[in-house]
Structure 1
């Protein structure tokens, strides 16, 4: 296993002793298929961690375990200093409200307009908002993702990049402290992928979010990461900055960058 020193920006360095996510010895199997074989990682407050790995390496399973969508077989998963493997459903739901999750397909409700999609999420979790307050929250988050004019559109009227942005808006409307991105640029053209990557950075800076980004897109990884981890055979095989891993002595690690 390669362990390489990480170079981070000043914000991350300031928060280096404030991990908001800590995973220790995480194991998960599906029948005889051992997917995770002892994952260990931590993410600092305000940091963007990118996780790379071949298909089936367990990247998405790792973050699904992190929010309890998949139950781990063994291990410790601390979020905001609470081990989510040892709490009940009500406590888990309180933590989930503080975490945003952007799925690959944006997961919008096709029968609802953009306004309705965002309003449904907000009303479900925030009680007592007046219609005016609800509208202001919706318009603000759409401004943040650059799609204020799409408020009355249906998902079928949106391009792939727009759907990603609306999915992100729905994630951000609850003002999460942690955001988990599962392949945020998959299926998008190069220019739109770059725009989404820029948006992820803007969100980190504006909202001071902590993020884990699962991606195959090396341009996205380079642009958004404070630190990279690469999964191989169910464990973290390499860790470091983009520049460090790109120059790694490990040929398999370098293959991601070629």
Structure 2
């Protein structure tokens, strides 16, 4: 896969088509450890929201609450017009079916080939697909990440960047409305990270996804964000476009940009 130039539009207007996700006064503690302390933010349909925050700021717990893997102590999380904190497991599953997740580790099944990894995901989401339909979905997903030639390889035969792209293909194969990226460029060399950054931008355009991107990578944040929120101690410390965050005069916020 050839390295492409990163899309340079860093001052685009956020897509405003209505709020798709909203956190309202969400609290979550683990014993005496208060992780989320009344967090409030929303994401518009078609928007890429980057979440920045240092370790322990509540980034991962926020995402776990969003997909119902962690129950909140109080507050509301509205997704597709439903408060998921009040849904039963069947209701949560219907929401999860519309969400793709790129894990930091790619989380591929080592005993399965690339094709089998993708087919397994398809079968879990839609048991009515024929073998021909599944093969078509698999081929398209792999073409979209530039790894069709790896279809019969096992994860052990892939580089870290290739695994990340296969993980992305697996997330996209269900044609999600929401994408969650957990440290999408983490552990990658500079060139491969640039490829992933490009892919995220292309995916937004092609699939019209609404995305949450958790990252420490300021390059990823700069080129993939419509808007950024910065978490501190379980609340939103500040939010805005990349240039707003970069020019923030608060000493703690400035620390993200210090080498």
Structure-1-length-normalised TM-score: 0.94
The CA distance in 2 between the partners of 1:212 and 1:45, in whole Å, is 11
3-state SS of paired residue (1:201): helix
Structure 1 equivalent of residue 35 of structure 2:
35
Matched, 1:231 2:231: yes
| Equivalences for residues 65-214 of structure 1 within 5 A | 65-214=65-214
Once residues 255 and 39 of structure 1 are traced to their aligned partners in structure 2, the CA distance between those partners, rounded to angstroms, is: 22
Deviation at 1:10, TM superposition (A): 4.8
Q: Normalising by structure 2, what TM-score?
A: 0.94
Tell me, yes or no, if the aligned pair for 2:22 and 2:41 is still in contact at 8 Å.
Answer: yes
Instruction: Return 5+ residue gaps in structure 2 as ranges.
Output: 1-9
Question: Structure 1 residues 221, 10: CA separation in 2 closer, same or farther (over 3 Å shift)?
Answer: closer
| Mapped partners of 1:82, 1:105: distance in 2 | 30
Is it true that 1:12 corresponds to 2:15 in the alignment? yes
- Contact 1:40-1:236 within 8 A present in 2 as well: yes
Counterpart residue number, 1:4: none
Structure 2 vs 1, CA of residues 8 and 75 (structure 1 numbering), >3 Å: closer, same or farther? farther
Give the distance between the partners of 2:173 and 2:224, measured in 1 at CA.
21
2:222 aligned residue: 222
> CA contact under 8 A between 1:8 and 1:227: conserved in structure 2?
no
Aligned equivalents of 1:239, 1:129: Cα separation in 2: 42
Tell whether the 8 Å contact from 1:102 to 1:168 is kept in structure 2 after alignment: yes
Segments of 4+ moved more than 2 angstroms: 7-11
CA RMSD of superposed structures (Å)? 1.2
CA contact (8 A) 2:13 2:226 kept: no
Q: CA deviation at 1:128?
A: 2.0
Residues of 2 paired with 1:237 and 1:54: CA distance? 12
Gaps (5+ residues) in structure 1? 1-6
> Residues of 2 paired with 1:215 and 1:166: CA distance?
19
TM superposition shift of 1:130: 1.6
